[in-house]
Every structure is written in structure tokens, then in C-alpha cells.
Amino acid sequence: MSNYAAVIQDNLDRLYTGSIAHFEQHLPCAAEGDHLLFEAFGTACRITPRGIFLNGQPEDGPRGIVISLYALHHKAEQPVLEPFLAFKEMPDSGPYAAAFARHTETILVPHVPKIEAGRSNILKAMAGADATGPASGDISFHVRPLPKITLRYIFYRADEDFPASATCLFSHNALRFIPLDALADTAEYTSRRILELAE
């Protein structure tokens, strides 16, 4: 068993210690016996006492850890979208801000035209919607990588004066549902998923 798989299994053991009757409302999810079903990163996710599965395949890597931590931090509180927050606005995020920008935002910049062309596919797969209002850039949309966490992406196309840019913002109370490091990882894996869906 890999280190990732061991951490995931430990989290699942803790998750299934008590009753799972309230999970349907708290995650939220559908339940089939002791299996919990919802969408994660635009993919069908199934949590079981013995593992996490995405599209029917075992997920024993970093995404599995993120999903298991999200499940462990379940609560009845409802998500609040606005005002969206930048990662640097999160408490204690300073030491991780540069890595967050590099792994979540900078990787998208060369692909802004492709993301724009594939927007409808991205939004369909990730329970997304176009975003409007001030500071919406040239392209802006919301996606939902986990049931109670929404990310807002804002893109500017390159022009003769400025290079292309990409910004990722978090729903206002996202940190209530997952620890900071896992929230940063959620955004990184969402950006990677956006690139996959834009192909």
C-alpha cells in the first residue's frame, strides 16, 4: 500500500467510525448502503469503507486524500459563494501563496485560448456556469470540484499591451469544509481537470 493509500484508508476508517446517516445532507451526496456518491472534479465519485473510486477506478493518489479530507470535514453549514476570496486572503496562506499561483494559475496561462474554446465542455462536466459582474475579465466562470466548494476562474486574453493571465478565487466559506492545504490542492487538481476537459 502506498503512503497516499495508507493516509486515505486512515481517513476512511475515521469517517466510518460513527453513523453515516447525516452524510447525505452534509456532504451532500446520495447513499447506497454505506457507499457515498457525488461528483468530484467533474467525475463520478464513490466513497466506500475500503476506498475511493472515480469513474469506477480506485483513486489512491493525492486526489483521494483531498476527497477523504473533504468528507471528514462534513458539516450541516451551507456554502456561501460571495464575496469570492483569493488564496492570499485565507488565514495562514502566505507561505504557500507562490506555490499556489504556480500550480493553479500559471499552468493555465498558455492555454487561455483552448480553455475559452472548451468552456462549454468544462462547465457541463464540472457543474459550472458563466460568471458575470465586475472584474469578470475576458472569460470568467464558476466550477464546483466538490459539492460545497466552488471556484471562480477569471481569464484575460493576451493583447499587444499585456500577456494572458489566469486567476482562481474561492467561494467565501470554502475553508469551512476542508483544511487550507487540501483546499489549495483542490484548486490545483481543478486546474488540471480544466486543461483535460479543454482538449
Q: What is the pLDDT of residues 153-185, one digit of tens each?
A: 999 999 989 999 999 999 999 999 999 999 999
- 125 and 185 share a domain? yes
- 99 and 21 share a domain? no
- 38 and 129 share a domain? no
pLDDT in tens, 39-57: 999 999 999 999 999 999 9
The conformation of residue 16, written as its DSSP 8-state character, comes to: T
Mean pLDDT of all residues in 1-13: 92
- Is residue 1 over pLDDT 80? no
pLDDT at residue 158, rounded to an integer = 93
pLDDT at residue 20, rounded to an integer = 82
The amino acid at 196: E
Q: For the CA atoms of 129, 132, 136, 138, what is the dihedral angle to 10 degrees?
A: 70
Our count of domains for the chain comes to 2
The mean predicted confidence, pLDDT, of the chain is: 95
The predicted model scores a pTM of: 0.95
Is residue 105 within 8 A of residue 111, CB to CB? The reply is no
Mean pLDDT of all residues in 104-123: 97
pLDDT in tens, 117-157: 999 999 999 999 999 877 789 999 999 999 999 999 999 99
Supply angle C-alpha 41, 19, 126, rounded to 5: 10
- 108 and 130 share a domain? yes
**Residue 187 belongs to what domain range?**
85-198
Mean pLDDT of all residues in 83-98: 94
pLDDT at residue 2, rounded to an integer = 79
Report yes or no on 145 lying in a domain: yes
